[in-house]
Amino acid sequence: MAGPASLAAWTAGLTGAKRAAAGVFLGAVSVLAFAPFHIWPVLFVSLGGLVWLLDGCFRARATRPARLSCAALTGFWFGFGFFVTGLYWVAEAFLVEPWRHGWLIPLVMTVLPGGMALFFVAGCVLAMAVWHPGPARIFALALGLGLSEFARGHVLTGLPWNLIGYGLLANAPLMQLAALFGVYAVTVFAVALFAAPAAIWNGGGARSRGALLAAGLLFVLLGTSYVWGEMRLAGTREAPAPLRVRLVQANIDQAEKWRPENATGIFETYLDMTRRPGLEAIDIVVWPETALPFPLDTSPDALAAIGAALPANTVLLVGSARWTERRNAHGILLDRHAYNSLMTVNSEGQVVSVYDKIHLVPFGEFLPYQEVLESLGVMQMTGVRGGFTEGAGPRLLDVPGAPPALPLICYEIIFPEEVRPPPGLRSADARPGWMLNVTNDAWFGSSAGPYQHFHQARVRAVELGLPLIRVANTGISAVVDPLGRILAEVELGIQDTVDAELPVAGPITPYALWGPWMTLLALGTAVLGWLVCRKRIGSPNLTGQPRSTYEFDGAGKLGTMSSRRSFITAPFEKDNGREETQPN
């Protein structure tokens, strides 16, 4: 066991540029746990290394402010590495029109990861505030990062992309945990699980019997979860509804899509693909987000052509921008609003229902301080003057001949709590029958972005127990059942259609009923684990040595050890730069 002990001590002892580089590296390799790689065991390395770095902050700093400052820097570098690699694909969108946006790439690839890293700063600072040698620090980190990941999904419109819990939900059996707890609660468990093995050794190389026991318990829970997930999958057969859907993935290049001379050709491509053999047996045809480079609801010729192409009782669900105007009695324009919408078109070419996107993408569909920034020549990625306007709801779409759908445009599907139906729609009779996600991931080419987006969409299906129909312009388009299994798929970068039966909804899940309470349960369990470990686990080592404390000189450097006082209780009492502790 000398190897892990030495590695723990070496990692904890890193300072300066070496500590920063280690943090960036550990954050960067964490991304291998997510789509398209799903090498989730790498989180044992990255989060374990983070534990040892924080151990170094605790051991080598004599005062509480110094420890918190060290933890903040450690969290920043870890977070920067995590987001610069996990969100690199955002730069692809700036290359669609490089003459307009290309100059922003260096700024985006530093400011965005740096800003998002602040959530890891907060998580590590909170963890350090209650840091304690031995197993308690496992739960301290789970609590800190669990809260910061939850905040990341809500602050400033939120971006819960690649939450740590998604790493644990990489395979179908473990994905079933989402039905019970949701990804936020799973994130708390995942942090504790992946941090536990490294926490067996502290930054000084000593071993903790309590951390070993805690790691064992967490691995038992992991194995139990996997077995339960396998049983759930084996015991639930695919149950298709008597409805057939056709997914149309036209694979239109984003750089070509908005050129006026291409509009007719794009529309004809979608019509031709829709009319492929077997259409008479199809009940629902789905085109992706903003499939057409013109507003469909004010294009009567296009609506008439769609009506002529659709058999009787077949409907088209299509993403399209739309504009509304308000004028006074004299016909003077008062205001004009643009919406990113999802429309239902029947076989007579009529728009029979509309859903307007509620959660818009900052800097993509709108700008903070829109008028001020536009006056300076800054435009959001879509280039719509004035930006898009958020829809008013409700988040439900009537589809003739089919159960009501839960419509989600683009990245709306990554927000777990927004996707959960409101209380009045959670009963078996009132809940939606399926989820419909239309998106345009063509902005991000063949990068990891579309794969990560699709994986998070699958987790939403499991969380709510609802089947998912997902159609993307360039992929990935798929039919997913309520357990997250892919029943039909068109892969990324392919022009094709796929026909499949719409699965029926599964039983309503515990997460759909009690979502926020499950997150609070997970956080409360982390607090309880910390309290139990701090109070009952006496020694951070298995060597049989007396309980010890580390003493520091006036500069805060690690000095001698004293066996007269406990190392793990009351760690923050100070006396002239020397760290004192109280006996158990």
**Placement of tokens 């077997």 in the chain:** 278
The question of whether 573 is a catalytic residue gets the answer no
Residue 195: CB atoms within 10 Å: 31
Residues 368 and 376: beta-carbon distance below 8 Å: no
The question of whether 410 is a catalytic residue gets the answer yes
Question: How far is the C-alpha of 197 from the C-alpha of 194, rounded, in Å?
Answer: 7
Residues 19 and 53: beta-carbon distance below 8 Å: yes
Partners of 470 in the β-ladder: 437, 478
Question: How far is the C-alpha of 67 from the C-alpha of 239, rounded, in Å?
Answer: 55
Residue 238 makes CB contacts below 8 A (sequence gap 6+) with: 481, 485, 487, 503
**Degrees to nearest 5, angle at CA 56 with 55 and 58:** 65
The question of whether 357 is a catalytic residue gets the answer yes
Residues 542 and 209: beta-carbon distance below 8 Å: yes
Cis check for the bond before 432: say yes or no (omega within 30 of 0): no
Catalytic pick from 57, 357, 412, 463? 357
Q: Would you give the DSSP letter of residue 426? A: -
Question: How far is the C-alpha of 345 from the C-alpha of 352, rounded, in Å?
Answer: 6
Catalytic pick from 57, 70, 124, 410? 410
Cis check for the bond before 476: say yes or no (omega within 30 of 0): yes
Question: How far is the C-alpha of 551 from the C-alpha of 204, rounded, in Å?
Answer: 13
Tokens of residue 461, six digits: 């299906």
The type of residue at 45 is V
Q: Is the dihedral of CA 370, 371, 373, 374 positive or negative?
A: positive
Residue 351 makes CB contacts below 8 A (sequence gap 6+) with: 296, 297, 303, 343, 344, 345
Q: Is 498 exposed, middle or buried (0-12, 13-18, 19+ CB in 10 A)?
A: middle
Residues 178 and 511: beta-carbon distance below 8 Å: yes
**Placement of tokens 């644990």 in the chain:** 168
List, by residue number, the catalytic residues: 289, 357, 410
